[in-house]
Amino acid sequence: MLALAAVALIGGACNARSIAPGSIDGASLADAGTDVGAGGSVATGGGGGNGGAAGGPCGVEAPAGGTVFDGSITINNAADATAAQAYTGITGSLVIGVGFAGAVDLPRLRTVGGDVFAEGGGVMNLRAANLTDIGNDLWIYLATALVEVDLRSLVTVGGRLWVYRNPKLATLRLDALRQVAEDVQIRDDSPLGACVVDDIVSHVTAGMTPVALGTPHPNCHCETVCNHAEERCP
């Protein structure tokens, strides 16, 4: 069973880490083989390469088909991002390369065995709305162009969860998050409202009382929309 998380969303010294950039086990992601099935959908849940998920009015439908990639993936360009849409699972890590700019949208992806990692670079949107499990760390640090992270179905993180010093991050969807094995830090992401961060932390089973630090916006309030808090401002 995963260790319960110690949640700290307060200031502190930077403890940045990095993963060496690379390709898919030495090959270009755009050249990787895929096994994408025909269109259609099945009920939410399940994994592997057998069909999609119909998420209802609050979900994102996963296209049918797909396959599991054995190894780690680094997304360095638009072709890599497109090729990665074929995968329902990645046994290693998913790394957003520092040279990538634009959106990463992975609606089929359900599991990542290693890290989900973005540090620096020009990624603007990171969406994996059907991802439920990360085996190690969720690490999003100093992604200065990042405005959106949508991991609304993520339930468990097997290592640390850091979303830290992303100065344009306005949307963070961690609606289903329940367990993190190590520390949780969501801080210095200036646009994120305090009520949004508080709502995320309230869903985590923690080994200590959570301390949440979002940005107070006195003229705004939060409303619950599809099981997550959204800030409303005049």
Total of domains in the chain = 1
pLDDT on residue 228:
80
Question: What gap in Å lies between CA 193 and CA 233, rounded to an integer?
Answer: 10
Question: What gap in Å lies between CA 148 and CA 139, rounded to an integer?
Answer: 14
Residue 73 domain flag: yes
List the chain pLDDT tens, one digit each, 234 residues.
444 444 444 433 334 444 444 444 434 444 444 343 333 332 333 333 334 444 567 889 999 999 999 999 999 999 999 999 999 999 999 999 999 999 999 999 999 999 999 999 999 999 999 999 999 999 999 999 999 999 999 999 999 999 999 999 999 999 999 999 888 989 888 888 888 888 898 888 754 445 455 666 778 877 888 888 787 878
pLDDT on residue 195:
84
The alpha carbon dihedral of 123, 129, 130, 134 has a sign of: positive
DSSP letters for 173-214: E-TT--EESS-EEEE--TTSBHHHHHHHHHTS-BSS--B---
Residue 11 domain flag: no
pLDDT on residue 163:
93
Residue 221 domain flag: yes
Closest CA to 147 of 130, 128, 167: 167
Domain residues for the domain of 109 are: 45-232
Residue 40 domain flag: no
